[in-house]
Amino acid sequence: MLATEIVDLRTALEFLATIPGQLVSTREPVDPVAELAGVYKLVGAGTPVAPPTRVDGPAMLFENVKGYGMPVVTGVLASRPRTALLMNSSIGRLPFDLLEALNHPRPPVVIPGGEAPCQEVVLRPPFDLRTLIPAPTNTLRDAGPYFNMGLLRAEDPETGESDVTIHRLCVQGPDRLSVYFVPGRHIDQFRIKAEKMGRALPVSVSMGLDPAIYLAACFEPPTTPLGFDELTVAGALRRRPVELVECVSVAAKAIARAEIVLEGEILPGERIREDAQTLTGYAMPEFPGYLGKAQPALPVIRVTAVTHRRNPILQTIVGPGEEHTNLVGIPTEASILRLVESSMPGRLRNVYCHSSGGGKYLAILQFVKRSESDEGRQRQAALTAFAAFPELKHVILVDEDVDLFNTIDVLWAMTTRYQGDLDTVFIPGVRCHPLDPTQSPDYHPSIRAEATSCKTIFDCTVPFKQKERFRRAEFVAVDLAKYLPDPAREQGVREAQEIVRATTRPGDSLVEDLLRERRREVEREKDA
C-alpha cells in the first residue's frame, strides 16, 4: 500500500502496518484510567513527557480496553519520520508540502448519509458516553476522561463560514462535555455570536481521522484567518477533497470517514467547572509538560447523537509529547516559512518547531547569508516569526551547514558560534502564552502580568565575513551501502520486535484483521 492511498484512520494504520517499527498492537488488558497513557509514555510519547520516555517509538493499538469493546490507538503522529511517511513526504520537506497545500486549497464536498462510513451505526439518546466510548485519562489527577483528538466543526451563525479545530473535551455526564477554548479561537467566536442571539451552536466532533486532516486543522492565524476552512488544506495534501456528511440530529456537518462522530450543540449560558466530577483542581497534562489547572467555568456541549463505523477505533493522544509537537509545530513551520519568504526571499532554508517547546515555544531557523548585506537579516527573520506567532518564546538561528533537526548539532553551533553577551537579543514584556509557568508575577515580581514573557533570539550564525574561519572539516562522500546494510532499518526492525515481544500475545491482531478486511475489499472491487 502507498501513502497516497490513505483516506482515513484505517488505511493509515494499514499503511503503517507494512513498515517495520511504525505500529504495534497489544491484546493485553489495559485500563483507560491512567494505565493506557502510562504504557505509551514508555513506548513512544516523547518529550516533554518526563523521563523515562521514548522518541520516535511506534504508534500503538490497544485492542483490549477494560470495560469496553472498542480499541484505542495512540501515537499515530507521535514521530516526525512517521508523520512524513503518512504524508508521502520527508522530515525536512514536511513544512514545504503543507505550504504548497495552503497555496492550492481544495474545498471539501458533501456526500449522502448513506455513503458515509461514520454513519454505519447511529445511536440516539438515551446513552451514556462514559460507558459507550473508552475516553482515557492521562494521569490519576486529571479532571476526568477526555476526548483530545476530537475535531470540532461549526459554522458562523451569521455568515455560515466554517472552522475546524481540536479542543480538549472532558466527559461530564451521560450526554455532556465541557469544551475549553483558548481565547480568540474561531469556534469560540461562533459560540459567542450564537449565545448573544440566545441560540445553541450546532457542532460535530469527529474522531479517528486521516492524519492529513489533523495536521491541516492545526494551522492558526494569521495564516488561516477567520472564515478560512482548513479542510481545504487537507484536501490539497491528499489531492482529493475531504468528504463531509450532514449530521443526523443537528444542523452541522461531520467528517464522513471518521471512526466516531459526536453530534451536539453548545448550550447558551450554561457553564460547568472542568473538574466537576473529580474536584482534583487540575485538567490534564498541557503541552509544556505540566498539569494544567481546571478551568472554573467552561461552555457545555449537549450530545444529541453518536454515530460511528462498524467496529470503531477511538483515536487519542498521550500528552504532552511528540504528537502534540508535530500537530501544532509543523503547520507553524510552514507559516513561518511563508511569512519570511515573502519579506526576504531565498534566505530561510528551513524551520523546526522543537519538541522541547511543544511545537509552540521554540523555533530553530536555518538561515542563509548570501552577501555581507544579509548580515542582520537573520535577526529580522526571527522578529518576523515573533510578530506573527505570539506564543513563540525563543528562536535559535543557525547556518545552512547545521542540521536543525539534530539537537546535538544545534547545541554545537550554540557552543562554537555564539557568545551570550554579543549574540543574544532580549525583547522583554511581550505577550506570550499563559501555560508557561515562568510567565507570571509569581515567578518574578518584574513580570507585570500573566502570560507576559521575555522573547529571546539566540543568534548562532557565523558573521558573513568570517565564514571561511568557521568552515567545518570536510570528509569525502562515500556510498555506505557498499560497506554496511542500512543501520537505521535494522535498528528499527530490532526495536519493533522488542516492543512486540514485550506487549503482545501470540495470535491474530486487530491490525492483521484490518489488513485482511482491506484485501477483501480490494477483491470485491475487482469482482465488481
Checking if the pLDDT of 448 tops 80, the result is yes
For all residues of the chain together, what is the average pLDDT?
Answer: 91
Checking if the pLDDT of 316 tops 70, the result is yes
Q: Taking residues 151-174, what's their average pLDDT?
A: 96
| Cross-strand bridge partners of residue 425 | 457
> Any residues with CB less than 8 A from the CB of 355 and at least 6 apart, and which?
46, 47, 48, 55, 322, 325, 329
Q: Taking residues 426-451, what's their average pLDDT?
A: 90
DSSP, residue by residue, 27-58: -S-B-TBTHHHHHHIIIII-TTSPSS--SSPP
Strands 348-353 and 146-147: unpaired
Checking if the pLDDT of 494 tops 60, the result is no
Dihedral angle, C-alpha 129, 132, 135, 139, nearest 10 ° = 90
Q: Can you give the pLDDT at residue 46? A: 93
pLDDT band for 505, please (50, 70, 90 cuts).
Answer: very low
User: Three-state SS for 503?
Assistant: helix
Whether 521 sits among the annotated catalytic residues: the reply is no
Q: Can you give the pLDDT at residue 223? A: 85
Which residue among 259, 265, 286, 323 is the active-site one?
286
Q: Can you give the pLDDT at residue 486? A: 67
Q: How far is CA 8 from CA 13, 86, 210, 218, 238, in A?
A: 9, 11, 4, 17, 11
Write out pLDDT tens, residues 390-415.
Answer: 889 999 999 999 999 999 999 999 99
Q: Can you give the pLDDT at residue 300? A: 98
Q: Can you give the pLDDT at residue 389? A: 87
Q: Is the peptide bond before 20 cis (omega within 30 degrees of 0)?
A: no
User: Three-state SS for 24?
Assistant: strand
| Cross-strand bridge partners of residue 105 | none
Checking if the pLDDT of 497 tops 60, the result is no
Checking if the pLDDT of 500 tops 90, the result is no
* One-letter amino acid of 267: L
Q: Which residue has the higher pLDDT, 184 or 463?
A: 463
* One-letter amino acid of 140: L
Cβ-contact 329, 359 below 8 angstroms: yes
Q: Which residue has the higher pLDDT, 521 or 140?
A: 140
Q: Which three cell numbers stand for residue 5?
A: 492511498
pLDDT band for 141, please (50, 70, 90 cuts).
Answer: very high
CA 399 to chain centre: 28
**What is residue 373's DSSP assignment?**
G
Question: Which helix H or strand E contains 270, and what residues bound it?
Answer: strand 260-272
Percentage of the chain beyond pLDDT 70 is 92
Tell me, which fold does domain 3-323 have in CATH? Pnp Oxidase; Chain A (2.30.110)
Write out pLDDT tens, residues 295-309.
Answer: 999 999 999 999 999
Q: Can you give the pLDDT at residue 496? A: 45
Checking if the pLDDT of 8 tops 60, the result is yes
Checking if the pLDDT of 9 tops 60, the result is yes
Q: Can you give the pLDDT at residue 17? A: 94
**What is residue 469's DSSP assignment?**
G
Write out pLDDT tens, residues 331-366.
Answer: 999 999 999 999 999 999 999 999 999 999 999 999
Q: Which of 151-155, 437-441, 459-463, 491-495 has the lowest mean pLDDT?
A: 491-495
Checking if the pLDDT of 203 tops 50, the result is yes
Checking if the pLDDT of 175 tops 50, the result is yes
Cβ-contact 137, 146 below 8 angstroms: yes
Q: Can you give the pLDDT at residue 503? A: 38
Q: Can you give the pLDDT at residue 145? A: 97
Closest CA to 165 of 176, 181, 177: 181
Q: Which three cell numbers stand for residue 174?
A: 451521560
What Rg do the C-alpha atoms of the chain give, in angstroms?
23
Write out pLDDT tens, residues 221-279.
Answer: 888 888 889 999 999 999 999 999 999 999 999 999 999 999 999 999 999 999 999 99
Q: Taking residues 58-86, what's their average pLDDT?
A: 96
Q: Can you give the pLDDT at residue 527? A: 65
Q: Which three cell numbers stand for residue 103?
A: 497555496
Q: Taking residues 65-70, what's their average pLDDT?
A: 96
DSSP, residue by residue, 392-441: --EEEEE-TTS-TT-HHHHHHHHHHS--TTTSEEEEEEEE--TT-TTSST
Domain locations along the chain? 3-323, 344-470
Strands 362-367 and 394-398: parallel
Q: Which residue has the higher pLDDT, 153 or 510?
A: 153
Q: What angle do CA 37, 50, 356 make, to 5 degrees?
A: 110
pLDDT band for 118, please (50, 70, 90 cuts).
Answer: very high
482-487 long-range contacts (CB < 8 A, ≥24 apart) are none
- State the architecture of 344-470 in CATH terms: 3-Layer(aba) Sandwich (3.40)
Q: Can you give the pLDDT at residue 526? A: 61
Percentage of the chain beyond pLDDT 90 is 81
